[in-house]
Homo-oligomer: A and B are copies of this chain.
Amino acid sequence: MKYNPVTNKIIAKLVKIVDSKNVLTDKEKIEAYSHDEMPREQYAHMPEAVVTPETAEEIAEIVKLANKELIPVTPRGAGSGLSGGAIPVFGGIVISVEKMNKILEIDYENMVMVLEPGVVTNDVNELIAERNLFYAGYPMSLETCFIGGNVAENAGGGKAIKYGVTGRYILGLEIVTPAGEIIQLGGKLVKDVVGYNIKQLIVGSEGTLGIVTKVIVKLSPLPKYKVDLLVLFKDVKSAISMVPQILTKTGITPTSIEFMDKLSVQTSCRYLNEHLPYQKAGAMLLIEVDGNREDHVSDDAETIGELCLKNGAIEVYVADNYTTQERIWSVRRNIAEAFKVVSPHQSLEDIVVPIAYIPDLMPELALISKKYDIQIPCYGHAGDGNLHATLVKNPRSTMKEWYEIEAKSLKELYESARELGGTISGEHGIGSKRKDFMEIAVSKNELDLMRRIKKAFDPNDIMNPGKIFDME
């Protein structure tokens, strides 16, 4: 073990930096910082101390101390991650940004907001809706996740086909580097080509290159109207082949094109006691269009609906009011929860493939499912080729059997995605969970470049070590 322990002397120094109320060492209190949304029994690791600083300067002092004393630091947002990014796998100090939750500025003229990293993503939108603005980064966990975590993971979500992912809306960052320097990157600027794009290198770097202490986000005009279409297809292939057709034949870019296979819809409907007409369908698309005029939005929905019907859709249900829309989206959002009733043990994945190759993935999933006797519901962001193929433990297996099955089937799943020109994560990140699978996704040369970049930022490897890749 190359790291030093968090001794009482270190604790005393931490207390001096952030005050005793912001240093936690009590086992019961710090347990909450040992895991994210992945199964605890499998991935949790206790920190030695948790600090909850209130300023970037405090974070800089803590990091300087850790860097000098060779103690690992793990930055933490809301803990809503799905790859272990916030888990202190080597112990050390967890730096939680939960108390840095102020909205520092709403600049309507420049259409930007300046946020501390601990702001809950959706709170941003609630503040600015009345001014016809919204923040278009849109992770599915937006009611609990923090903007700082969104930046660290380059969070995706259900509206990426039209609005892109988090990185598109990050105009400026303040970070504390592993050496404890505070650096401003970018600003209230839409364009900026001055030198290397370190800002976008930080986005998605999972807290391994620095700690985000301030975020300048771009705001977008809030669309006033939306219509959802639930479109039933006989099979996955007919559903997916609609995606490029919708885009090119209608010219409309929907807000969302979500995909659900029959198993997903069925299980979620049972869980919610909801009645969607899934019996007839092998697969469904949930298509949302938005805009600023009611007539334009309904024109667009009609155009897409007609195109689907002309191309083999069994039926198109239109949801143009809040209640119906919520009913449908609730089925989509609750798929993961619903499968927890089948088995609390799952591996929630987010592989990506080129959009047109989604149907080719299905026989692969069927093979893995059969081989290991597990259920693999498949749903997700069809418009981005980003699928939550989820491995669900067979209730009859022991935990020991499940861990073995999980490791093997993950490898096969990732290799299938890779063979189709895809990759192993589209929005959840690598973290500690997928670290050992990196060589499936990237070449040795690329991985080596990543290590050299890490070394350029963090020569002592103290910033969130054990994530994405190991340095050796």
On chain B, the residues within 8 Å of A111 by CB distance are 244, 247-248, 355
The answer, yes or no, to whether A452 is at the interface (CB within 8 Å) is: yes
With A198-B449, A204-B197 as contacts: A190 and B355 at CB distance below 8 Å: yes
On chain B, the residues within 8 Å of A347 by CB distance are none
The answer, yes or no, to whether A335 is at the interface (CB within 8 Å) is: no
Number of interface residues of A (CB under 8 A): 97
Interchain CA distance A60-B244 in the complex, whole Å: 36
**In contact, B248 and A221 (Cβ under 8 angstroms):** yes
**In contact, B160 and A190 (Cβ under 8 angstroms):** yes
* Contacting residue for A201 out of B108, B196, B422, CB 8 A: B196
Per-residue interface assignment for chain A, residues 266 to 294, with 1 indicating a CB less than 8 Å from any chain B CB and 0 otherwise:
00000000000000000000000001110
Stretch at the interface among A90-98, A363-371, A453-461: A453-461
Interchain CA distance A183-B357 in the complex, whole Å: 23
Whose C-beta in chain B lies nearest to the C-beta of A157? B191
On chain B, the residues within 8 Å of A109 by CB distance are 244, 355-356
On chain B, the residues within 8 Å of A191 by CB distance are 156, 160, 165, 352, 381, 384-386, 426-427
Which A residues form the contact surface with B (CB < 8 A)?
Answer: 107-112, 131-133, 153-154, 156, 160-161, 164-165, 167-168, 177, 181, 183-185, 187-198, 200-201, 203-205, 209, 220-224, 244, 247-253, 291-293, 296, 299, 352-357, 381, 383-386, 421-430, 438, 441-443, 445-447, 449-450, 452-457, 468-469
What are 8 contact pairs spanning A and B, CB under 8 A? Answer: A107-B356, A108-B248, A193-B430, A194-B430, A198-B449, A221-B251, A250-B292, A296-B296
